[in-house]
A and B are shown apart, each in its own frame.
Chain A
Amino acid sequence: MPGLTDHFVVLEVVLPLLAAPACVLIRNPRVTRLFSLGIVAACFAIAVALLIQVRGGGVISYHLGGWPPPLGIEYRVSTVNAYLLVLVTAMALVVMSFDSRGGPPRVSESRRHLYYAVFLLCVCGLLGITITGDAFNIFVFLEISSLSSYILVSLGGHRRAVMSAFHYLVMGTIGGVFFMLGVGLLYQATGTLNLREIAERLEPSLDDRGAVLALALLVVGISIKLAVFPLHHWLPNAYSFAPPKVSAFLAATATKVSFYLLATILFVIFGAPFVFGELRLHVVLMPLSILAMFLASGAAIFQTDLRRLLAYSSVAQVGYMTLGLSTANATGLAGGLVHLFNHAVMKGGLFLVVACLLHRVGAVHLDALAGVGRRMPVTCAALVIGGLSLIGVPGTVGFVSKWYLVSGVLERGWTAAAVLILLSSLLAVVYVGRVVEALYFRQPAEDHVRPGLREAPFAMLAPTWILIAAAIVFGLTTNWTYGVAAEAAGLLLQGGI
């Protein structure tokens, strides 16, 4: 008779899934807030327990409904996805505990429980994509997380939030359809939906048009969700018009889970020898990653709104991750994976700073922020540290990622790409510099002088600083983050999950 700990794998998904309708029944805004905070904390604890259990090559397999794979749905946890589970639940916990008086401003008190329900569904979808070992189940959870994130984006106070949520919906649905078609072709070719079973039965070759088409559909579909460079157009609007709390959560988790999905499909299902040896996908992926680093960072330089600036910087950071992926060697892939965590910590922290500034200043145009650094020193210091981490200054997580990425790229023999990574950091210096200049060195314009401007409340500052502190701590000690990422990269390269 299995004990409670044997059910951890499924509880990780079931808890938020059932807590969401429970929120709808509870209705009381204060109770639902505490309730969902408790659920997210429980998920985080479970994720940590799972990661500890599978460290060092362990695997936990859970058969839903008692049906063994390949017939039934299998949930499968290894170091690769346990790492992602910890990341998603940790970010959900921090964002949930960030108190901007409950929900986003547009949501009235009487509907706030629905906001928490949708948030929990989003968490559930992201965890589900990560944990499941069944291709169709991935699609279902992809839709759960996508639909709920469209709703979350549309809650931003601005009228254009609804429009950008709709844009996100159209692009996300196209991505979902591509993914579904790819899964359909894989099912046709192998007769199973279990990921490991597909990987075993599929013998991809360039002559096998079905397999190549399936790979193309899957990669394009996920690239839309991941916002890989030419497919990123939904992202800047979605992140800049969503409530900043939501942007913090989505920027820190949604693209990361998509990255995991892409890595699983390339390395586990199709296998590195086919994708990078025969098909030479890196010929496309590497230039696109470098273009993302330069063009998106370039676009970030010209933004006048802090949120848009950070959103464009996210597109550039996705470029670093996919560059790590395209090296297809242990160091580069581990660099990409460790950047998942590192970017989540710093970008999540930065978007929470935006939420603090928005709460006190009321706007995050660079003009409105002129001189705010002197009035809100603690908040703005967080912004500066997060910004330094985006640049990749030693002592921050950004440096760790870039170090391993550059090593991986050099190992692969792409010297030019390594130089370009370093050059693109200079662009980050420019866009972060513009923010710092506005905060500390500019005098506030006549119509932006705010005499009563104070520091953000503690309930908002504490979660923000937890993330910013993590950006320093994990920049100094890399055993924990890089250790797990390296183990995960090793597993992926062997094709095992």
Chain B
Amino acid sequence: MRRSRVREMPILRVIARALVPLILLFGLYVQFHGDFGPGGGFQAGVIFAAGLIVYALIFGREALQRVMPTILTERLMAAGVLLYGAVGVAAMFLGGEFLNYSALDPLTTGHYGQHLGIIVIELGVGIAVAATMMRVYYGFVNSRLASENGWAAGEGDAP
């Protein structure tokens, strides 16, 4: 099988092992540096998920699914959106309009509240996007497994 030979290529395995942590770290950098420079939750989520998907491509889907089961990706998708919305609702309870971050910090002039609000909602975006990317990847892999019955039953290991 061509696919399994790709997995056994030592260069790929070594480089992937070295690069994946860096990709994840870069994802976190883009996430939390988003309010000072280019970046933000969406890009960060895509980078983070791409790192994990590269890992799954080289070391097998099961390896990734041990850490990130399908059900967890679905929960994280929802949790990310809820985190975003919760910031808006919290602002509402603190006396501002929906998503008025200034209300999150009623003591100072409001810039700190804006800063805090944007960091948390971007975190929500990042979580939701990363989880959605992974869920889409699982979706593709599983539908391939289902359509290629003989291969799935014979070889066992998914790409």
Contacts and interface: CB of A to CB of B under 8 A. Distances in A.
B87 to A, nearest CB: 11
Contacts of B95: 1-2
A64 interface: yes
Interface in B68-127: 74-75, 77-79, 81-82, 85-86, 88-89, 92, 95-103
Looking at chain A's contact residues, is the secondary structure mostly helix, strand, loop, or mixed?
helix
Interface stretch (A17-25, A273-281, A447-455, A462-470): A17-25
Nearest to B80: A21
A38 B100 CA distance: 27
Given A21-B77, A21-B78, A66-B103, A10 B85 contact: no
Interface in A150-196: none
Q: Could you say which of A1, A20, A21, A62 has the most chain B C-beta atoms within 10 Å of its C-beta?
A: A21
A27 B86 CA distance: 20
Contacts, number: 52
B131 to A, nearest CB: 11
Contacts of A14: 85, 88-89, 98
Nearest to A73: B99
Nearest to B74: A24
Contact of B98 (A7, A20, A24, A25): A7
B102 A66 contact: yes
B110 to A, nearest CB: 9
Interface residues of B, number: 21
A354 to B, nearest CB: 32
Contacts of B86: 18
A477 B79 CA distance: 47
B89 A18 contact: yes
Given A24-B75, A66-B97, A66-B102, A7 B81 contact: no
B100 A66 contact: yes
Nearest to B88: A14
Nearest to A23: B78
A25 B97 contact: no
A7 B93 CA distance: 10
Interface string A1-12: 110000100100
A24 B77 CA distance: 9
A63 interface: yes
B20 to A, nearest CB: 28
A10 B86 CA distance: 14
A66 B99 CA distance: 8
B96 A66 contact: yes
Contact of A64 (B74, B78, B79, B99): B99
A1 B106 CA distance: 12
B100 A7 contact: no
A64 B82 contact: no
Nearest to B101: A65
Q: Could you say which of B75, B82, B86 has the most chain A C-beta atoms within 10 Å of its C-beta?
A: B82
Interface in B17-70: none
B85 A18 contact: yes
B78 A25 contact: yes
Contacts of B88: 14
Nearest to B110: A66
Nearest to B97: A66
B96 to A, nearest CB: 6
A300 B95 CA distance: 55
Contacts of B82: 18, 21-22, 25
B78 A65 contact: no
Given A65-B97, A65-B100, 14 more contacts: A1-B95, A7-B92, A7-B98, A10-B97, A10-B98, A14-B89, A21-B85, A22-B78, A22-B82, A24-B77, A25-B75, A25-B78, A25-B82, A66-B97
Interface of B: 74-75, 77-79, 81-82, 85-86, 88-89, 92, 95-103
18 contacts: A2-B97, A7-B92, A7-B98, A10-B97, A14-B85, A18-B89, A21-B79, A21-B85, A22-B82, A24-B77, A25-B78, A25-B79, A62-B97, A64-B98, A65-B98, A65-B100, A66-B96, A66-B103
Interface of A: 1-2, 7, 10, 14, 17-18, 20-22, 24-25, 62-66
